[in-house]
Amino acid sequence: MHKNVNIQGVHLESPTKKRLNHGQYPCNGSYYSPEGERPTTAIIASHYVGNWANHYLGEYMARRGYGFLGWNSRFAGASVASGFNLEHALIDLGVGVRWLREEAGVEKVVILGHSGGASLMGAYQAQALDPHIDPGSAPEEELNSLLPADFYISLAAHPGRAKVFTEWLDPSVTDENDPLSYDPELDMYNPDNGPPYSPEWLERYRAAQVARNERITQWAEKELQRIGDGRPQSDQKLDGAGTFGVASKNGVFDRFFVVPRQFADPRFLDLTIEPSKRKVGCYMGDPQQSNYSGYGLAPITSAREWLAMWSLSKTQVRIEEQLPRITQPALVIYANHDQGVFPSHAQAIYEALGSADKRLISLDGAHYFEELGSRAELANLLANWLEDHEAPAV
């Protein structure tokens, strides 16, 4: 075990996003390594919008001799919706992988997807192995030349933000402009419905969640068309260099909006649904209070971001599309005290992976392994698995 850890700031431009005028780099992160050593194997972890530069595993893995790059795309760290664009995010992730191989001198790269980051990192690895994602506004040559990693690890992860968002979404909302509107027959907090919840009610409830997601999707598509046609075209060419994506010259580029009530997964209250070691509640505490708090995975989003990230029918991030393309050795870890990621999520990820060498493990721990002293156990598991796969630390 190494006593001292070196933390190096890494700040880079992206092929599709240059350094901003005030100095910020679109791609940034922190590289953790054992002091005085040059790791031969390193992990890279990132997220859609979460700032992963200071991910807790960095120091744990560096003390075990591994490199760890907590990496952020241009969309990370925003306190409000950032107009997330999958294609440009993947290109930004590629900047980090390339830095590990070409600058840090790493021989083997490990993709680690934690929480929502697993589906994003899975999409990256799948695209690097087998280009298939519609480039949209991104240069196709950049999106199709990503460097693949050697291993894939899914940690306390769900099958994708659109799926888990919909599973948490309150289907009893009857008016998207009124956070208090509700249909009592679809309200999980109505004691007449449970808990416990009957299988018949749950089936109606899940179908209503999908229906609400699709209603918002249809509105977002129509709204983009409306605001794009809302003013005369301009002759000025906008390349989007100072914004996200490629700006439209046909009107307003995007529309931000609020999505009310986002903490309504019956598993928060009914522990008989997918039993685990979790306690009643959600990540914010009391589910009903959280549901009416105004917060959530996407309290504010945009029409373009909705279609890219939250829409079940429009997002390009689908495990059934990405994970079968991943054939490298893979490890799926489920935290059995997790209050928002459930056993079926880990099982779905495990089954979708195309790897012949794959393993599914359950560990005692919450979503970030912040309890029970489980971070050291998790780091030991990761180090041992990598060593078993001929991926030594130094």
End position of a domain, from candidates 248, 283, 310: 310
Residue-number span of the structural domain to which 353 is assigned:
5-160+317-388
Element (H, E) at 100: helix 86-102
| pLDDT recorded at residue 118 | 94
**What does pTM read for this prediction?**
0.92
Same domain? For 9 and 142 the reply is yes
CATH number of residue 21's parent domain: 3.40.50.1820
What number is the average pLDDT over the span 38-67? 96
Same domain? For 59 and 139 the reply is yes
- Residue 235, domain member (yes or no): yes
Kindly calculate the radius of gyration of the chain based on its CA atoms and give it in whole angstroms. 21
SS3 188: coil
Same domain? For 59 and 143 the reply is yes
Confidence of residue 252 (pLDDT cuts 50, 70, 90): confident
- Residue 340, domain member (yes or no): yes
- Residue 12, domain member (yes or no): yes
What number is the average pLDDT over the span 100-115? 97
| pLDDT recorded at residue 391 | 87
For 373, the token pair is: 């002293």
Rounded to the nearest 10 degrees, what angle do helices 117-129 and 86-102 cross at?
70
196-240 pLDDT, tens per residue? 999 999 999 999 999 999 999 999 999 999 888 776 555 555 554
- Residue 394, domain member (yes or no): no
331-354 pLDDT, tens per residue? 999 999 999 999 999 999 999 999
What number is the average pLDDT over the span 185-192? 98
Same domain? For 28 and 143 the reply is yes
Same domain? For 145 and 209 the reply is no
Cα torsion 274, 381, 50, 139: sign: negative
Same domain? For 76 and 145 the reply is yes
How many domains does the chain divide into?
A: 2
CB neighbours of residue 205 within 10 Å? 23
CB neighbours of residue 273 within 10 Å? 18
Same domain? For 168 and 155 the reply is no
End position of a domain, from candidates 310, 331, 347: 310
268-291 pLDDT, tens per residue? 999 999 999 999 999 999 999 999
Same domain? For 358 and 381 the reply is yes
Q: Above 60 in pLDDT, residue 308?
A: yes
End position of a domain, from candidates 259, 276, 310: 310
Count, residues in the chain: 394
Confidence of residue 249 (pLDDT cuts 50, 70, 90): low
Same domain? For 67 and 102 the reply is yes
For 39, the token pair is: 């790791």
| pLDDT recorded at residue 371 | 77
**pLDDT cut 70: percent of the chain above it:** 93
Cα torsion 205, 207, 208, 214: sign: positive
Confidence of residue 36 (pLDDT cuts 50, 70, 90): very high
Q: pLDDT averaged over the chain?
A: 92
- Residue 393, domain member (yes or no): no
Same domain? For 108 and 199 the reply is no
Same domain? For 139 and 203 the reply is no
Same domain? For 382 and 269 the reply is no
